[in-house]
Amino acid sequence: MTNKISRRNFLKGSAYGLGALTLGAPAIHVRAQEPVIRCGVVTSLSGENRFGGNLTRRGYDLWAEEINKLGGVEINGDRYRVEMFYGDAQSRPASGADAAERLIIRDEVSILFGPYTSGVTLAVQPICAKYGVPMISGSAESPNVWLEKPRFNFGMIPAVDHTAGSSIGVIAEATGAASVGVVGVDEPFSKETAEGFRNGVNDTGLELTRFELFPANADLTPVVSNLKADNPDLVAVGGHEEVLINFINTAKSLDFRPKAILMHYGVTAAAFADQLGADANGVLGISVWTPNLPYRDDLFGTASDYDELSLARWGSHPDYTEAACSASGLVLQDAARRLGKPPVWDRQARLELVEALEETDIETFYGPVAFEREGNHYHNNIQPVPVVIQITEGRVVPVAPSDAAQTELVYPLPAFS
């Protein structure tokens, strides 16, 4: 036996050494960096709600990219870069809760940006409370999220009970529609949307010809056939983009075209008009943000500037969910500035951050942001005013109320092309 190192052992040792260096280098690099603001994003990147989930990610990412271009979030005159970590909720509440816990424990995030669906948001809220991590939800619209009075969660978009009902009255006033058929998918957000529509019908004294909920997997021919037999002036549908596309396809195949069709949510997303083409024209929707609104802020500029930036970055016009998610970052920026403590934030600092978030009162390109401090919309930003939009030549155009309208509402709708 000799003490010489054989060629094989030398090569083996070199390979191990190189491997260790390669794996270890990022850690060395991270440690050498300035403190950063570690933000977690829990959203549905796969599963049934992957469409909206990815829209939320786009919104959050765009803010992170833009603020990092300036060097990061300014706190006490210093700038701290933002680092984003992602957790896929897989469109399931339980997976969302797991992902949030992973982000908090493993990735040590100081703040979460909230999920796309209200169901996942409801599951993530207790995790935020357990670890004392604030969350800004750029998407959740179910009123049930805020009924629980979540201490750590803040919602950017007004709850659907605030928007859906009032839109029925606005449309009835603009069109003279007298009867309404309301249908919706039997899942939390869509059901509450349909119920909001129904309440709006009752409040405005219109005739409700039908209120029906259906499973997300159902074939829509029975639903559309029933609506066709009732023949209401306005059909209001609560659902997400896939159901809305299927609804239009089924209505067209059964030769059913009511005088007006109102949908929420998904109709304002560019993919809706892209996929349906001319058949999307005339469909009404509700939006709390459009690019022509007169709001602005220092990071994104005007609503129109944001629209152009998002189009250039992602290749499609943003809808209000993307806008609200980007504005979530502006809310964090503002709260962090007022907190005045550099990252990393411990539990006590995070509790102070929650208090700072509660005192938010800013204007952004998305509109005014201030969270309710009491009542059924606790921590929900109900400042934005909903407008009724109509798909016109593939574009989302505000049509009501009259002070926000850019063009006249098309009523009754012409037959399908």
Partner 1 sequence: MDVLLQALLNGILIGGILICLTVGFQLTFGVLHVIDFAVGGWVMLGGYAAYWASRLLGVDPFISVFFVFVLFAGVGCALGPLIYHVRTSRYARPDLMALAFTFGIFIMMRGGALWLWSFDSRSVDSVLSGASLSIGPVTVPLLRLSAFGMALLLGLGLFVLLYRTRFGMAVRAVAQNRDHAGLMGVDVKRVSAYVYGIYTGITASAGVLLATIYSVNPEVGVRYTLFAFFVAVLAGLGSVGGVLVAGLVLGLVESLVGTYVGTRYSLLVVFATLYLVLLISPKGILQRGI
Secondary structure (3-state) at 77:
coil
Secondary structure of 248-309 in the HEC alphabet? HHHHHHCCCCCCEEEEECCCCCHHHHHHHHHHHCCCEEEECCCCCCCCEECCCEEHHHHHHH
Residue 274 in contact with partner 1, rule: CB under 8 A = yes
**Range in contact with partner 1 (rule: CB under 8 A) among 122-130, 134-142, 173-181, 215-223:** 215-223
CB of 186 to partner 1, least distance (A): 6
Binders in 10-69 for partner 1, by CB under 8 A = 46-48, 50-51, 53-54
Residue 231 in contact with partner 1, rule: CB under 8 A = no
CB of 317 to partner 1, least distance (A): 14
Residues 128 and 153: beta-carbon distance below 8 Å: yes
CA distance 100 to 361: 27
Nearest Cα residue to 200 out of 104, 294, 264, 259? 264
Residue 215 in contact with partner 1, rule: CB under 8 A = yes
Q: Which of 14, 76, 231, 253 binds partner 1 (CB under 8 A)?
A: 253
Q: Is 81 or 191 the residue whose CB approaches partner 1 more closely?
A: 191
Residue 78 in contact with partner 1, rule: CB under 8 A = no
**Range in contact with partner 1 (rule: CB under 8 A) among 97-105, 130-138, 159-167, 208-216:** 208-216
CB count within 10 Å of CB 87 equals 26
What the block records as the tokens of 49 is 């709600």
Residue 313 in contact with partner 1, rule: CB under 8 A = no
Residues 209 and 181: beta-carbon distance below 8 Å: yes
Q: In what order do the strands lie in the sheet with 111-113?
A: 82-88, 37-43, 111-113, 135-137, 153-155
Beta strands in 138-244 (DSSP E): 153-155, 179-185, 207-214, 234-238
Q: In sequence order, which residues have a C-beta less than 8 Å from that of residue 361 and are 6 or more positions away?
A: 368, 369, 370
CB of 91 to partner 1, least distance (A): 8
Compute how many residues bind partner 1; rule: CB under 8 A: 38
CB of 90 to partner 1, least distance (A): 10
CB of 200 to partner 1, least distance (A): 21
Binders in 155-194 for partner 1, by CB under 8 A = 186
User: Contact positions toward partner 1, by CB under 8 A?
Assistant: 46-48, 50-51, 53-54, 186, 212-215, 217-219, 221-223, 225-226, 228-229, 241-242, 245-246, 249, 252-255, 271, 274-277, 279, 416
